[in-house]
């Protein structure tokens, strides 16, 4: 997934492949204010974060988090009641006056707590709900790593849709085992990890822009979104990423028996689901 200078309409395609594709109308002076990052500690000093190697190192670690979270969620049934408003009465309502589902409630309350601890002041974190909780820790001032327009990019509504419609049915078994709390908490972990991994594409795009500034500037001024996506995309790297995730999903999903050379696959379905959503991993 790649993002470069959001300036208006966003378009997303998730499932087999996932991309964030935006209109591109920023000038060279606006682009010059942007930079890239890998880890939160590097965001205080953007110079080491300009390296794609640093960014990819962080992305690789995030892969592990997502895969293990999927495996943990797969231990419980799908539990449709967790996602159905009024199935589990909770003290929360959306802007339309409809009661939250249990997942929405757990996610909303989790984000309010995390917001107090500065989670969403970091440029690599994006909440699913609006957060207005007062900080209990002193604020951290981050340098303008991305252009100000990048703050407008938040596709968590689409992350939620794909998680509920494609990922969740792929990693869980149908049915209801009444483990609603466990399912909801693990769903939150999965969603947060996916959101971070997907939105990290903004930093990948910034790093690539700085490496080919003149070419990207020409394409942006021409509003050639397809040309920008073609320049951003590295098929060889994407294949390497998918192959790595395939190996991880297969390996982590095995039940290693007492005999070292006879592992058995205990989580085949979630491994296959990971590969069907391969576009999540391609930055």
| Angstrom distances, CA of residue 193 to CA of 129, 160, 222, 262 | 15, 12, 35, 32
Average pLDDT over residues 6-11: 34
Task: Quote the number of domains for the chain.
Answer: 1
Q: What is the pLDDT of residues 66-106, one digit of tens each?
A: 999 999 999 999 999 999 999 999 998 988 899 999 999 99
> What are the counts of helices (DSSP H) followed by strands (DSSP E) for the chain?
12, 4
pLDDT > 70: percent of the chain: 72
Mean pLDDT over all residues of the chain?
Answer: 80
Residue 3 falls within a domain, yes or no? Answer: no
Cβ atoms within 10 A of the Cβ of 225, count? 17
- Answer yes or no: is pLDDT of 2 > 50: no
pLDDT greater than 90 at residue 30 = no
pLDDT(31) > 50 = no
pLDDT band at 29 (very low <50, low <70, confident <90, very high): very low
pLDDT at res. 21: 36
Least confident of 31-45, 87-101, 168-182: 31-45
pLDDT at position 47: 52
Is residue 231 included in any domain, yes or no? yes
What is d(CA 215, CA 231) in angstroms, rounded to the nearest whole number?
9
Q: Which of 29-43, 232-246, 266-280 has the lowest mean pLDDT?
A: 29-43
**Tokens 């509003």 map to which residue?**
223
pLDDT tens-digit readout, 141-170: 888 888 788 889 999 999 999 999 999 999
CA–CA gap between residue 154 and residue 127 (Å, rounded): 8
3-class secondary structure, 11: strand
Whether 50 has a pLDDT exceeding 80, the answer reads: no
Residue 177 lies in domain:
10-281
In a domain, 5, yes or no: no
Is residue 1 domain-resident?
Answer: no
**CA 175/CA 25 separation, integer angstroms:** 48
Q: Is residue 2 part of a domain?
A: no
pLDDT reported for residue 39: 45
pLDDT of the residue at 269: 52
Confidence band for 6, pLDDT divided at 50, 70 and 90: very low
Alpha carbon separation from 153 to 1, 65, 124, 134, 159 (Å, rounded): 13, 23, 11, 23, 13
The CATH number assigned to the domain holding 239 equals: 1.10.590.10
Backbone angles phi, psi at 51, to 5 degrees: -85, 130
Q: 4 lies in a domain? A: no
Helix axes 235-252, 52-73, angle to 10 degrees: 30
* 12-26, 68-82, 98-112, 124-138: segment of lowest average pLDDT: 12-26
Phi-psi region of 2 (alpha: psi -120 to 50; beta: other; left: phi over 0): beta
pLDDT of 249? 85
Q: Is the pLDDT of residue 43 over 90?
A: no
| Residue 11: pLDDT over 50 | no
Statement: residue 271 has pLDDT above 80: no
């Amino acid at each position: 997934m790649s993002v470069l200078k959001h300036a208006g309409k966003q378009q997303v395609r998730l499932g087999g492949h996932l991309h964030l594709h935006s209109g591109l109308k920023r000038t060279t002076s606006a682009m010059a204010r942007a930079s890239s990052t890998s880890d939160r500690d590097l965001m205080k000093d953007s110079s080491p974060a300009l390296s794609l190697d640093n960014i990819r190192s962080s992305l690789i670690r995030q892969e592990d988090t997502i895969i293990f979270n999927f495996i943990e969620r797969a231990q419980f049934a799908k539990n449709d009641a967790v996602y159905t408003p009024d199935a589990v009465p909770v003290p929360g309502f959306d802007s339309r006056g409809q009661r939250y589902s249990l997942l929405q409630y757990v996610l909303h309350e989790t984000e309010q707590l995390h917001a107090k601890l500065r989670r969403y002041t970091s440029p690599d974190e994006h909440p699913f709900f609006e957060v207005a909780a007062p900080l209990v820790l002193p604020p951290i001032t981050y340098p303008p790593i991305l252009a100000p327009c990048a703050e407008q990019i938040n596709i968590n509504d689409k992350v939620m849709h794909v998680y509920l419609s494609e990922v969740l049915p792929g990693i869980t078994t149908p049915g209801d085992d009444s483990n609603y709390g466990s399912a909801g908490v693990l769903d939150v972990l999965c969603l947060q990890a996916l959101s971070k991994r997907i939105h990290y594409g903004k930093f990948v795009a910034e790093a690539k822009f700085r490496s080919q500034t003149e070419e990207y500037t020409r394409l942006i001024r021409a509003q050639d979104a397809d040309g920008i996506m073609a320049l951003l995309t590295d098929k060889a790297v994407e294949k390497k990423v998918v192959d790595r995730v395939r190996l991880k999903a297969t390996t982590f999903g095995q039940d290693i028996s007492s005999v070292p050379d006879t592992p058995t696959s205990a989580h085949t379905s979630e491994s296959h689901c990971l590969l069907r959503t391969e576009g999540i991993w391609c930055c």
